[in-house]
Amino acid sequence: MMVLGSFDRWSLAWPLAKKELLGRYRGSVVGLAWAMVTPLLAVAVYALVFQGVFKANWPGAQAGGLGYAARIFAGLAVFTGCAEIAMRATGLMRENASLVKRVVFPLELLGVALVLQSAVHAFLQTVVLALLLLAVGEARWSWLLLPFAWAWVLALQLVLAWLLSALGCYLRDLQHLVPSLITGLMFLSPVFYPVDAAPQMLKALLIFNPLTAPIEFMRAAWFGSAFDWATAWPSLALLLPMLAFARWFFEHARQGFADLV
Amino acid sequence: MGVLQVQSVNELAIELRGVVKQYSLETRPGRRLWRQVTGRVGQGPVYQALHDIDLEVRRGEVVGVIGRNGAGKSTLLQIVCGVLQPTRGQRTVRGRVAALLELGAGFNPELTGRENVRLNGPLLGLESREVEDRLPSIVEFAGIGEFIDQPVRTYSSGMFVRLAFAMATSVEPDILVIDEALSVGDGAFARKSFERIMELRQRGATILFCSHALFQVEALCPRALWLHEGRVRFDGPVAQAVVEYQAWLDRNEAGVMTSAPTGSRFDTPQAALLGANFGGGGVQAKLRSGRDDLVVQVRLRSDPALPCPTLGVVVHGADGRSIASAGTWMDGVSLVRDAQGGSTVEVRFPGLPLLKGHYTISVYALCERGLNVLSAAEHVLTLEVEQDNLERGVVTLPRAWATRAGTEEAVA
């Protein structure tokens, strides 16, 4: 069932995202709070292992306390957001088979809705971290850059969502491939260490990771650390062309979705 | 379309020109993706579901689509709705389309009925205010009461379909596309949904209706489209379409039934057939052609709160095809029933005109319009007809002979 007609297409994305979020947390006791609890727990574990066991410390941060954990949290929020998009996008069309096959639906909105859900999680995580840092008196003016940092990340997520949801529809292997790629990519992203601290060989690799620049930028916004525009600018400059390509690719591939899901 | 093109093009609600739909049979996913993205689906192995379909449906017209399974009916409806894109050709649809293809397609099982209606409203082209306005009437029509605030996964399949139907038709569409959706829910709801569709028809909605029940198509649609292997085999008055299609079915599928035909047998809360026999006798009879009367007696019970149902009797040949039928609604006969809804009906065919052979008889209880089957007992009676002359064929026709000398043609 559906209707063709003049409706503002993008305004549909939010109800869709809301529906997904409501459905996801419906019936659980703390509901949306899981979006904050899960990353906090993860950070507690990482902090315990890296700081407590390996005695690792973040260059430039004072030893002990919240410093290390907060920096991991900032980077990890970006990484897990993108990872989740990547994993869910590969099966997105099959998951919504009825929308693909039986309804006239602007399918590109499924990707947009996915990113909107991620934005809600991002917002909650930002609030959590901001409150933690405020509590220990580490607020800074550079926080004003946070919306830009997130805009960068979300745009990147939209590229991922469109490309992978279209590709995943044709190439089912992606559903198995992407999770293992993500595990590897986590250590090839500057999540547990800043780019500066990486050995030369790893640095060369990090440049090609599109997540490197936004993660670094995010940490620069939170903690006022240095941000190397010289290596990061191609990443930002390519963002719009990549979005345009992802959109084009999705539009051309979508005609075949209905036969495949 | 000849010289006289009277109506302006905008009178057309649905317009298909040379529509072709091919499904790719390419099995290598990489190749398939490449063809899709570069727009070369036609190369490589394809299955052609629709060949060059031209279709024009005027505003307010009701068109039935008939044809065998796999003839391309669903593909055609999906293209009209815009769910599928034609591989080639042009599709123009003017007005708001409501498709009853798969009811409740966008529902999320974890959310309550009310939340689902709110969230799916925009998909159907409703503003959120419009959804709020219509919510009470949707809930009322679906008849699901306080279940509206329960998660949809707790619904029975009937409730689910009812809510989806109530919602889909609440948008007051200009064009309604129905794929076998008339039999939604139980008897009482099937009736309500049918009335909703009739109401939309009265209001001038254009309707495209696909069903295997030929009698429904015949009763609803003045015009019918017969699709065969992806091509339009006939497009015109429904009576002719059904006759041609039925004749084709009889020619091509009668031979398939080698063993005795087994028919369906079901009742609904609205009506139940209790028994049928040959006028007090058993369910098997041996009659003499032209001499004995064929008497069929049926006992049924119906819900006294609802309008009295009608009764239909169909005589089939040994190959299962229908040879003759009679219906109380066609003959203007009303059933009489007691306070519990019980009634007995007898129909008599005097001097049975069937010739020798084996026949079966089906009995149906239908709604008062003779459209929805409420209870069916197909092939419940078996009949053997004997004949004491050498006449050949299936029936004996009344006749008058005349003869004169000479060979010149008679002058009128």
Give the total number of structural domains in chain A: 1
Cβ–Cβ under 8 Å, residues A89 and A114: yes
Residue (of B183, B185, B189) closest to B158 by Cα position: B185
Cβ–Cβ under 8 Å, residues B299 and B275: yes
> For residue A223, which amino acid is it?
F
Q: Give SS3 for B384.
A: strand
Q: Is residue A3, in this structure, part of any structural domain at all? A: no
CB < 8 Å to A102, chain B: 83, 99, 101-102, 105
Give chain B's contact residues with A (Cβ, < 8 Å): 23-24, 29-30, 32-33, 36-39, 41, 81-85, 93, 96-106, 108-111, 115, 118-119, 122-125, 151, 164, 167-168, 171, 173
For chain A, the farthest-separated pair of C-alpha atoms sits apart, in whole angstroms, at 61
Please give the Cα distance from B206 to B62 (Å, whole number).
6
For CATH 3.40.50.300, list the domain ranges present in chain B: 7-96+172-179+206-254
Q: What is the overall mean pLDDT for chain A? A: 85
Please give the Cα distance from B360 to B382 (Å, whole number).
4
B123/A12 Cβ within 8 A: yes
Query: Using CB atoms, which residue from A98, A249, A255 is nearest to B106?
Result: A98
* Across B238-253, average pLDDT: 83
More confident residue, A259 or B8: A259
Q: What CA dihedral angle connects A60, A62, A63 and A65, to 10 degrees?
A: -130
Which of the four pLDDT bands, split at 50, 70 and 90, describes residue B123?
Answer: confident
DSSP string computed for A122-180: HHHHHHHHHHHHHHTT---GGGGGHHHHHHHHHHHHHHHHHHHHHHHHH-TTHHHHHHH
* Across A19-39, average pLDDT: 79
Q: Is residue A182, in this structure, part of any structural domain at all? A: yes
Query: Checking phi first, is residue A135 left (phi over 0); if not, alpha (psi -120 to 50) or beta?
Result: alpha
| Beta carbons within 10 angstroms of residue A107's beta carbon | 23
Distance of CA A165 to the CA centre of its chain: 15
Please give the Cα distance from B292 to A215 (Å, whole number).
94
Q: Give SS3 for B235.
A: strand
Q: What is the pLDDT of residues A173-226, one digit of tens each?
A: 899 999 999 999 998 999 888 988 888 888 888 988 999 999 999 999 999 888
DSSP string computed for B44-103: S-EEEEEEEEEEEEETT-EEEEE--TTSSHHHHHHHHHTSS--SEEEEEE-S-EEEESST
Two tokens at A77? 């929020």
Query: DSSP secondary-structure letter at B389?
Result: S
B340: buried, middle or exposed (CB in 10 Å: 19+, 13-18, 0-12)?
A: exposed
State the best of B24, B28, B103, B110 to mutate against chain A, taking most chain A CBs within 10 Å.
B110
Q: What CA dihedral angle connects A234, A239, A241 and A243, to 10 degrees?
A: 160
For CATH 2.70.50.60, list the domain ranges present in chain B: 265-386
What is the per-residue pLDDT for A78?
94
Cβ–Cβ under 8 Å, residues B156 and B332: no
B104/A16 Cβ within 8 A: no
* Residue B257, pLDDT above cutoff 50: no
Two tokens at B216? 């429904």
Global pTM value:
0.70
What is the per-residue pLDDT for A231?
85
What is the per-residue pLDDT for B187?
64
| Beta carbons within 10 angstroms of residue B277's beta carbon | 17
Strands B12-24 and B88-93: antiparallel
Please give the Cα distance from B2 to B11 (Å, whole number).
17
* Across A122-143, average pLDDT: 89
Q: Is residue A229, in this structure, part of any structural domain at all? A: yes
* Residue B182, pLDDT above cutoff 60: no
Q: Is residue A149, in this structure, part of any structural domain at all? A: yes
Residue (of B47, B26, B48) closest to B37 by Cα position: B26
Two tokens at B346? 């007898």
Query: Using CB atoms, which residue from B38, B98, B115 is nearest to A1?
Result: B98
State the best of B110, B123, B129 to mutate against chain A, taking most chain A CBs within 10 Å.
B123
Please give the Cα distance from B372 to B271 (Å, whole number).
11
CB < 8 Å to A31, chain B: none
A115: buried, middle or exposed (CB in 10 Å: 19+, 13-18, 0-12)?
A: buried
Q: How far is B93 from chain A (nearest CA, A)?
A: 9
Q: Is residue A7, in this structure, part of any structural domain at all? A: no
CB < 8 Å to B84, chain A: 258
What is the per-residue pLDDT for B8?
55
Q: What is the pLDDT of residues B37-78, one digit of tens each?
A: 887 777 778 888 999 999 999 999 999 999 888 888 988 998
- Note down the domain range covering A245: 12-18+31-260
| Beta carbons within 10 angstroms of residue A50's beta carbon | 18
Q: Which fold has domain B7-96+172-179+206-254?
A: Rossmann fold (3.40.50)
Instruction: Give the homologous superfamily in CATH for domain B265-386.
Output: abc- transporter (atp binding component) like domain (2.70.50.60)
Query: What are B64's strand-pairing partners?
Result: B209, B224
Helices vs. strands in chain A: H and E counts, helices first: 13, 0
Q: Which residues contact A66 (CB under 8 A, 6 or more apart)?
A: A132, A133, A136, A138
B29/A256 Cβ within 8 A: no
What is the per-residue pLDDT for B33?
85
